Chain A
């Protein structure tokens, strides 16, 4: 490796290379997945859709440093919107006879359904962004959890539109491995670009030292609200893709266990870096898929292990606790993929390649 002196090379090294280093391996996984069995293909597609959700979730959590326990509410909204828009008019007459006419008479394709699902989720995010972002820290995390419960109560009882706990079915299953990969890449690029914008940089400054950020005049609630809406858009997109992948789902499909799974992906990877979000999603998806296969029963040499429902959830939670207790900054240590070129001596390295600052403050809440 030689020292680079050109600003262009240095820019590529810092801004473009980490992105390439994330998306190219992901593409390789997608290609590899395409050659496998149907089950394997579905597992890889699921991973790509979780990538959209988790990276979308990261846009808010990673930049603000505040965990939200209610982001799955955007996924729910994206999923139901996409389902209502992609079902054919005839299907809707049978499944949802009491649907308001502006929903009953429209029909969209795969991309239309996905994007409108994302937009509706973003609008919902915009509505709650102001009150929610006036809260800080733990209060925000838990208020979002209350939002998730509220959305769940609404979709489980608003049967004329959502069919509630009986499942919504017949949604065209048009999400493929390829399209899921394309959307995952778009989400990763968007998250990466956002974190280098003014708003993104200001948020990361406030994440590390809130009083100092306020002292230099950063309006934390406003910046967070912007990230919140963008995050709502992509999580909603993920939900819309899931709806068009599963074909059938009900009000409990995207709920507490999805919340845990996505938080696990982000935290196990390292929630303060995009690389953490991506690595965590790949790692936890693989773990989850493996545990699910074991859940159906397996043979270990002469030992027959019967089916054990709940095993994958227990394994996942245990794995997450172990990571939290022994490596609380996640697998990537919350760092981005380092630049390919070494930096010039007199150039200060960008903040993200520095080791994560020690969290010695105990009284911040």
Chain B
């Protein structure tokens, strides 16, 4: 029983992190119809900004991180993605892949390939025990942050003018533009929010591992992709759900797999995702506006 509750906590905390990652990717996808490979490099930029601001008080570190990541996301949109808006999806995907590779190697060229470490306040990594359960404060923080961000994102999309415009653009971009929605504003806000989500995920990641490398964003971004596709492309709730399903698979396999197979856990996780694709190639939540109308 105790292991079940312990796992449930792990699933919730890891799931919140995965959901934040997936939402960042899904939000941009909803409007632009392309998956941003360079989302992982937003995490990397966030990590390095924490490292560069390590002398500042903790609150300022967080602010610097958020500001840098949001600005980088806006820069991506302006420099790389605006010129290829409307090009075929393969071109857009390859562009974001090239951008991601460029940033990773720029980081390697300027800051070196070796891992940098940042000491975040130890309060975050402390654990406390309740009824025999070990709970890290970071896990609680992750869940709270995840819930707060997801709730406010939902509120923003449902209630604010900009949010409604974003949903309208995700539904039918041409139509939204015809009734006066400004394309550039909507797309830039999508990137900005995706940057905000990436910054939060970067802070959690760095607090978890304490190290920053040029390849920091690779694994999280793949998790975000798989979660987004599994949830159903174009659906934000699907992306969040996909994040939780992935964390469920990952934590459960970690507990159930025999010791000598544990290093292969990720292979099993992705393998089971391929099986989910066999059953539901459209993802868990099917969005109708994604399918091309003829």
A interface, CB within 8 angstroms of B: 65-67, 69, 128, 130-132, 134-139, 141-143, 145-147, 149-150, 153-154, 157-158, 210-211, 256-257, 260, 263-264, 267, 271, 308-311, 313-314, 317-318, 320-321, 324-325, 328, 359-365
A132: chain B residues at CB < 8 Å are 274, 277
A142 and B225 form a contact (CB under 8 A): yes
A310 to B101, CA, bound (A): 11
Asked whether any CB of chain A lies closer than 8 Å to the CB of B1, the reply is no
Q: Cβ of A364: which chain B residues have Cβ within 8 Å of it?
A: 88-89, 292
Asked whether B281 lies within 8 Å of A365 as measured between CB atoms, the reply is: no
* Pairs A–B under 8 Å by Cβ, sample size 16: A132-B274, A135-B281, A138-B89, A141-B35, A141-B93, A150-B266, A153-B267, A211-B292, A257-B101, A263-B97, A310-B108, A314-B102, A317-B98, A324-B95, A325-B84, A325-B95
User: Does B222 lie at the interface of the complex (its beta carbon under 8 Å from any beta carbon of A)?
Assistant: yes
A322 to chain B, nearest CB (A): 10
- B226 at interface by CB-CB < 8 Å: yes
Structural contact, B229 and A328, CB atoms closer than 8 A: no
Interface digits, B67-95 against A, CB 8 Å rule (1 contact, 0 not)? 00000000000001001101111110111
Q: How far is the CB of B137 from chain A (nearest CB, A)?
A: 30
Check A131 against B97 for contact (C-beta < 8 Å).
no
The majority secondary structure among interface residues of chain B is helix
- A280, B174: Cα distance in complex, Å: 35
Using Cβ atoms and an 8 Å threshold, which residues of chain B touch A134?
Answer: 277-278, 281
Chain B 252-291 per-residue mask, 1 if CB under 8 angstroms from chain A, else 0 = 0000000000011011001101110110010100000010
Q: Write the residues of chain B forming the contact surface with A, with a CB cutoff of 8 angstroms.
A: 33-35, 80, 83-84, 86-91, 93-95, 97-99, 101-102, 105-106, 108-109, 113, 173-174, 218-219, 222, 225-226, 229, 233, 263-264, 266-267, 270-271, 273-275, 277-278, 281, 283, 290, 292-294
Evaluate contact between A65 and B277: CB separation under 8 angstroms: no
Q: How many A-B residue pairs have CB under 8 A?
A: 152
Are A67 and B273 in contact (CB-based, < 8 A)? no
A69: B residues at CB distance < 8 A: 97
> Closest residue to A326 on the B side, CB-wise?
B83
In the docked arrangement, what's the CA distance between A181 and B154, Å?
58
A8 to chain B, nearest CB (A): 37
- Contact partner of A146 among B87, B94, B222, CB < 8 A? B222
With a CB–CB cut-off of 8 A, which chain B residues contact A137? 89
Cα distance, A158 to B267, chains bound together (Å): 12
Given contacts A142-B35, A317-B105, contact A362 B99 (CB under 8 A): no
A267 to B95, CA, bound (A): 10
Report how far A313 CA is from B102 CA in the complex, Å. 7
Chain B residues positioned under 8 Å from A157 (CB to CB): 263-264
Q: Name the contact of B233 in the complex, choosing from A131, A138, A211, A310 (C-beta under 8 A).
A: A138
B264 touches A153 (CB 8 A): yes
A150 to B269 Cα, complex, angstroms: 9
Q: Are A146 and B91 in contact (CB under 8 A)?
A: no
Complex Cα spacing A141 to B87, Å: 17
Taking CB atoms, residues of chain B closer than 8 Å to A158 are: 264
**Contact present for A309 and B108 (CB under 8 Å):** yes
A131-B275, A317-B98, A363-B292 given; name 14 further pairs at CB < 8 Å. Answer: A67-B90, A132-B277, A136-B281, A138-B89, A139-B233, A146-B226, A149-B266, A157-B263, A256-B101, A317-B101, A317-B102, A317-B105, A321-B80, A328-B84
- Of the listed residues B84, B233, B281, the one surrounded by the most CB atoms of chain A closer than 10 A to its CB is B281
Q: Are B90 and A271 in contact (CB under 8 A)?
A: yes
Could you say which residues of chain B place their CB within 8 Å of the CB of A145?
Answer: 222, 225
Give the Cβ gap from A287 to chain B, nearest Cβ, in Å: 14
CA distance A110 to B69 in the complex (A): 50
> Using Cβ atoms and an 8 Å threshold, which residues of chain A touch B99?
317, 321
Name the residue of chain B whose CB is nearest to the CB of A66.
B90
On whether the beta carbons of B86 and A362 are closer than 8 Å, the reply is yes
Complex Cα distance A134/B97, Å? Answer: 23
Provide the residues of chain B in CB contact with A149, threshold 8 Å: 219, 222, 266, 270
Alpha-carbon distance A128/B274, docked complex (angstroms): 9
